[in-house]
Structure 1
């Protein structure tokens, strides 16, 4: 029976285009060298303790363990899944060749490589059961997700799989960083469910939490500006911020950034919010013109920081409760 593995595509999913082009998956920890040189997992852990001496012991163990599993436990015909935050979709592939240490395939920083035949069809996160969403939201780079293989296969084949409310019983203690990362992913799910007008209100609420007065454009053509934010009640004092909000899965492009720059009021600072992320052209245009870009992950970070100071009606858009986690 083939195993199912979640493999993260870099820190920000930036490796996915290269993975698809080269038909591979890859992970890092290049300082450990080729894991084939180590006769046992313990030997690899000893090397991790040496080269990552500034990290916590638990972190060193985790990193070495993930490299060892990627090297020794992933087999031909195992299934691999990875996640694109920008499109909120999962990619699924089948392992065609086991571990190779090849720093020149993807990037010297990600030298541990397996060959993967990636499916052209992707699975929207919205289609998954809550249990699958929770389990696939872990922070580790490499981990098993066998419990959700049948659900994923069903969705890949276009079959709606009955959703299970309960997640499988955990066999290991949850790392607090993993817990936090899963919580962030669930907040992303809440934000994704908002309609475009609610999304504008959410962004406005975050700006209010930061001490700005806001004016939200009414429904209809906005001329490229959805929100105006300013420090004083009349909008005379600088900085004045003009905000465009695009709430969709598609990435926003360079022309949309230029539209925001050309919109009134001229001379105002520009903030472009896009839950679908940004194209390379949009990022280049924003960098050149001093436009601040904010994607879905950035929105979640701001929610975590400013939620308590948001107006109550804006908090109601994404109801959250603060808890304390032992570290």
Structure 2
């Protein structure tokens, strides 16, 4: 049975675009002498030489992760990468070939990408919890993960842990092998729970009302189109008491599993002129097609794209100013927590 490995691509997703384009999962550790697979003790020695300022426990942790990545992960295993630059989607790939050094200094594995746009809420909560591990690299094996991810690759749906053959776990695996045994990124887990709540509570026109409430909390006057055909205009928004002042926005909202495509974007651009608006805002809970994302910089001063990441960030910034009914439907509470230690991956 193949294994499943969580592999992150930068604290801010800075290595994602290159990995998706080249099929190379390159870690963030800069180790020019790490040109071929070597035992964990040798990896640790390299790390000690490259990062003498780091604590021994941190270096031990990194050595375990790199040993798993280079020596434990095998061709045919699956990798799962939570994307930070694509509306918090997941990318799943299958490892091909052996370890190598990308650009002569970054430990890397080649993968064949199988899915690059899987919504996080396609996974049930127990698998999402495993993806909340704060490590850059670790094996995900609890809750029959290997069998379930193979099914997800086939159907894009998580079958859950019942009525499936059980994957076999190797008892001699190292410490830190499983995402469920790792320090948990509480903010990531909480964000996943909020996403699932929004997906189930704010459906269709209710999602449009949520976006309108966020804009109102930001100081806009809004007009929401009634349910049904809206000719590409879901919300009109403007500043001042009557909403006449700039910036004036025309907003198109896509909820559920609809992915905003190029015709949707072109329709919104047309609506900017038709309504004499200054800008357009394209909001899509399930993200955008690649051609739409590729136009984000070109249209930066005319159209903004709000995927899940942007929606949640906007929601959190104004939550205390949202209408009471919205906050009742989406009850959130701030908490204090110790941040997990960051690593370089």
> One fold, TM greater than 0.5?
yes
Partner Cα distance (1:135, 1:64) in 2? 21
The answer on 1:238 being equivalent to 2:250 is no
Query: How far apart are 1:276 and its partner, in Å?
Result: 2.8
Partner deviation per Cα, 1:256-309 (whole Å, 9 max, x = no partner): 223222224214222111223233443454544421111111112222222222
The alpha-carbon deviation at position 313 of structure 1 amounts to 1.7
Unmatched 5+ residue regions in structure 2? 164-177, 340-345
In 2, the alpha carbon distance for the partners of 1:87 and 1:29 equals 20
Name the residue aligned to 1:183.
Answer: 190
1:303 equivalent to 2:315? Answer yes
Residue 149 of structure 1 corresponds to 146
Structure 2 contact 140–180 (Cα < 8 Å) conserved: no
Structure 1 residue corresponding to 2:124, chosen from 125, 129, 132: 129
**In 1, Cα distance between equivalents of 2:244 and 2:56:** 54
Q: Is the 8 A contact 1:9 1:25 kept in 2?
A: no
Question: 1:9/1:169 Cα in 2 relative to 1: closer, same or farther (>3 Å)?
Answer: closer
Matches within 5 A, 1:140-219: 140-147=135-142, 148-156=145-153, 160-162=159-161, 170-174=180-184, 178-193=185-200, 194-219=202-227
RMSD: 3.7
In structure 1, the residue matched to 2:166 is none
Q: Quote the residue 1:4 is aligned against.
A: 4
Distance 2:116 2:329 in 1: 32
Mapping for residues 88-103 of structure 1, pairs under 5 Å: 88=89, 91-93=92-94, 95-103=95-103
8 A Cα contact 1:9 1:15, kept in partner? no
Contact conserved, 1:228 with 1:243, CA < 8 A, in 2? yes
1:219-230 → structure 2 map (5 Å cutoff): 219-230=227-238
TM-score (norm 2): 0.73
SS at match of 2:243: coil
CA distance in structure 2 between the partners assigned to 1:58 and 1:238 by the alignment = 54
- 1:70 matches 2:65: no
Worse overlay, 278-287 or 255-264: 278-287
Q: 1:163 to 1:233 in 2, by over 3 A?
A: farther
Provide the rounded CA distance (Å) in 1 between the counterparts of 2:320 and 2:198. Answer: 17
SS at match of 2:74: coil
Contact kept? 2:119, 2:286, Cα under 8 Å: no
Q: CA deviation at 1:122?
A: 8.8
CA contact 1:252–1:277 (8 Å) conserved in 2: yes
**CA, structure 1 residues 139+231, in 2 after alignment: closer, same or farther (shift >3 Å)?**
farther
DSSP 3-state at the match of 2:247 = coil
The 1:61–1:248 alpha-carbon spacing in structure 2 relative to 1, beyond 3 Å, is farther
CA distance in 2, matches of 1:169, 1:279: 30
The total of aligned residue pairs comes to 308
29-38 or 180-189, which deviates more? 29-38
| Separation in structure 1 between the aligned mates of residue 55 and residue 210 of structure 2, nearest angstrom | 37
CA distance, structure 2, for counterparts of residue 232 and residue 213 of structure 1: 7
Report the alpha carbon displacement of residue 226 of structure 1 after superposing the two structures with TM. 0.9
